[in-house]
Every structure is written in C-alpha cells, then in structure tokens.
A and B are shown apart, each in its own frame.
Chain A
Amino acid sequence: MTTEMTTTERNSAAISETTRGGPIYRPATDIVERDGSVSLMLEMPGVAPNDVDVTLENRVLTIRGRAGQSRPEKLQLAYAEYGEGDYERSFTLSEDFDPDKVEAAMKNGLLTVTLPRTEAAKPKKIAVKSA
C-alpha cells in the first residue's frame, strides 16, 4: 500500500475559466505527518471561513477558496505586488484515509486540513518469535 502523497503539478484551473472571471492562485502548502494523521496547511489570505470548500472524491482532495474584495472605498490602486483572486489546489491521496474523518479549520487566512489514517493502514509491528 502506498503511503506517499502526490500532487497535481499542473494547475487545472489554467485550462478552464471561472464564471467570476478572476484569476485562480495555487495556495502555498505545507504537508506534515504526525501521530497517524496528515495535516495540510494552505495559505489562503482573504478567504473567509465560510468561503472554503474542501471535497474528497475518488482519492482526490480538492480545496477551493473564494477571496473577498479588499479594495478600499474611494481609493485607487497605486502600486501592486499581489493579485487577488480565488484559490484552488488538489492533491491525490493514497487510499488509506477515512473520508468521514477529514477535518478542516480556517484561521487568519490559513486553512488546516487534517486527514487521519485509517486503523488498517497504520504500520503494525510484528514480533519475531524465537524458534
């Protein structure tokens, strides 16, 4: 059984367009494994907790975030270093995750998705008996 996690390198959003017309960014992601669960931390600034969509379908975990407008009233953009838009990224998981136990929490623009490994997939230590 595989325990590795792979990702779709290509941004699938580059092919299709959004109905809203804005750009789609790939959020920077940290993936850490500990205590039998895998945590993903995705940077999605400007996305409110209600505007995040996490789906797990056929081993593909897809995260979408809809950013709110930060444009201040009556002001004009004079200098820009970042663009605003939606976020989308998907990861292909190994089969040993329980889709019902996936948890997601959003705080300060950082989305944390926790995927616990199923009991069957956790490594079992086999004691060797002396003959």
Chain B
Amino acid sequence: MLYPTTLTSDPFALMRRMSRDFDRTFGARAPAFPEVNLWQNEEAVAITAELPGVEPSDIEITVKDNVLTLSGERKAPDLGDDAVWHRRERGFGRFRRAIRLPFAAHDDQVEARFADGVLRIAVARPEEDRPRRIEIKAA
C-alpha cells in the first residue's frame, strides 16, 4: 500500500486510510455504502464511488447548497425460487449518502459519469467563490 508522504490539510487522513486498509485486509466490512473517494483542487471537487452491479438509472444524485446526496438501490438479481445459495458476500437494498462539499454548488455545474461500476461526479466551483490572486502594487 502506498501512502502520500506530503502532509495534507487533514492530519488524520492518513490514519483513516491505514485503518481502512487494515479493515479491508482483515475482512471487516465498512458500514457505509457506497464507499467514496474525494478529490479536489481550487477550481473543482470530484467524487468517485464504487457501485458494482448497479444500473445507472438506479442512481440518483441531488445537490442542494453545499450538500451532495447520492442515493439509489442495489437490486438483488432475480434468480427464481429454486436457486440455492452457496455463498453470499454482496449486499443489496437502498442506499443513501450525503457528502458535504467545501462550497455551495449550482446544479448546472455538476457532471456525473458511470462506467464499469465506478461513478464519477465532478462539481465545478462557482466563479464568484474561487480564490482570487491579489496583485501587489509598487508603492
């Protein structure tokens, strides 16, 4: 496992990541579904989530002010009554996660793509909210 050596703004991020990798290795299931990764820079935020086996039409994304809500349903496959389960490790049912963004986003600046079971949501920061560079004038 690779960990970043540079310090991020959140000193506990590394600890959480290590704890998560530990859980993943030793079989503890994370209670939250879907698991999300958050990416950001000064102009945008991106959220990636793992939703294997979920149809894009069963995913709903809403944005209100600075809260992005991801909800939907993992539908169990229709196998009929005579199916015999040998092993059941996947979960099914409705899910819902609310993610707080570092800024208030407008609906038209949110873009979502779904490919190979991975959802990618890009949220652009509104122009008026972006940090401005201040020129220093000579005295």
Contact = CB atoms under 8 A, between A and B. Distances in A.
Given A5-B86, A29-B89, A33-B83, A108 B36 contact: no
Interface stretch (A42-50, A53-61, A120-128): A42-50
Contacts of A109: 50-53, 116-118
A41 B76 CA distance: 11
Given A29-B89, A34-B84, A35-B82, A81 B36 contact: yes
Contact of B17 (A43, A45, A71, A80): A80
Interface of A: 5, 7, 21, 23, 25, 28-35, 38, 41, 43-49, 68, 70-72, 74-83, 107-110
Top 5 A-B pairs ranked by shortest CB distance? A109-B117, A110-B53, A45-B117, A109-B52, A75-B39
Looking at B17, B45, B80, which has the most chain A CB atoms within 10 Å of its CB? B17
A28 B41 contact: no
B118 A45 contact: yes
A43 B38 CA distance: 21
B1 interface: yes
B5 interface: no
Contact of B53 (A41, A68, A83): A41
Nearest to B88: A30
A75 B46 contact: yes
Given A70-B48, A76-B40, A83-B21, A32 B1 contact: no
B67 interface: no
Given A34-B83, A43-B90, A108-B52, 16 more contacts: A30-B87, A38-B86, A43-B52, A45-B50, A45-B118, A72-B46, A72-B120, A76-B39, A77-B38, A79-B38, A80-B17, A82-B35, A107-B53, A108-B117, A109-B51, A109-B53
A107 B24 CA distance: 24
Given A78-B8, A108-B117, A109-B116, A34 B82 contact: yes
B112 interface: no
A39 to B, nearest CB: 8
